[in-house]
Structure formats: structure tokens, C-alpha cells
Amino acid sequence: MRLVLRLAAHEVRLLTSLVRWVARRPHLAGGRAFGYARGEGAVLFGFAFVCVVETFTMSVLLRGWPTVHAVVLFLDVYTVVVVIGLHAASVVRPHLLEADALRVRYAAHVDLRIPLAAVSGVRRELRTSPGRRAGELDVAVGHRTSVTLELAEPVTHVTFLGQRREVTVVRLHADDDALLVAELTRARNGSSPIPGRPG
């Protein structure tokens, strides 16, 4: 039952993100935004286009079976909505640098709050096809990460399925990784962030 509720909540977040994306109202919650969706938008829209083509194809093939046609059409259309919702969630839920924490996010799947006091090191580090190791969390976009955070004390990451993991290394991707590292370093040192446009 708990898994069903988590899946339902995830679907609601995706659909809400789609509405926010159309309305151009990102989920910023008072922090400075650093986007990460620039590199994967074309891939997701390409996949959505393939799904649309498949929807029309199945509509033609199943026109003689109205009930099956209706069920498959619903599933195909919902799949397109979910794929576009994934991109929308990535756009409206960027990483957020708050006064005392960094919120590492990815679409509707990940929202990890890391206190700045727990960050012992931050650096730009391009890694492709990161793997999963004990105590490490890779929030990859397009199978790559570009920023590595080392933590002096573990933080708890709750996975998509509700499992809890203690992590001391977090890798993530940001479109402007250099700016994120610079601003995070300033925030950790107690300096006021330089003004600039959100990422």
C-alpha cells in the first residue's frame, strides 16, 4: 500500500510540474536556482515524438477493436504526458542554493537537502556513466555528473521506493557547474552570493 501511495504521489508531482511548466512558475521556494535540464530536453522530446508516432500507428492497427483501441490509446496518450512531465519536472524543480543548505533535485524523483555545514569539499568533476557505491549518491543527467560534494557527516537520502540510505558523497549535474561551485563555496565561507541570473 505504501508503494502505491508513493507512486501516486510521484504521478501527482509530475502532473503538477507540467502545469507549472506551462504557467512558467518554477518551484523555487526562496532559493537560488541552478538548472540541469538543458542537456536532456532534446532526448525526452525525441522520445515523446516516437511515442506520438506509435500512438497513431496503434490507432490505425486497432481501429477494428474499439475496446482494445480505447485502452491502448489511453495508455499511449498518458505515456506521452508522463514523458513531457519528466522534462517539465526537471525544468521547474532545479537545484536550489538556500541560505543554509543545498537542495539537490532531479525531476520528481530526488529532493535531497544538504546542510552547508555538512559540506567539507566541493569541486567540478566531470564523470560519465557513474556507478552506485556504498555511501555515494549519483544524481546523473544523461549519464553524467559535473559537480562532486564531499560531506563531513552523512545525510539521509530517501529513494524513489522509500528506502533510506546514508550518503557522504553526492555527485550531481548542473548546466552552469562552475557558477554552482563558486556560489556554494562563497555560501560555505559565509560570503554573500554575487548577484546574477538564476541558473
- Print pLDDT tens along the chain (199 aa): 777 787 888 888 888 888 888 888 887 777 899 999 887 877 777 877 888 888 888 888 888 888 888 888 888 888 888 888 888 999 999 999 998 999 999 988 899 999 999 999 999 999 986 667 888 999 999 888 999 999 999 999 998 778 899 999 999 999 999 999 999 999 988 754 444 444 4
pLDDT at position 131 is 67
Domain ranges of the chain: 2-30+37-92, 100-188
Residue for grid cell 554552482: 180
Which pTM was predicted?
0.81
Contacts of residue 40, defined as CB under 8 A and 6 or more positions apart, other chains included, come to 87, 90, 141, 142
What order of strands is seen across the sheet that includes strand 32-34? 32-34, 95-97, 101-106, 110-115
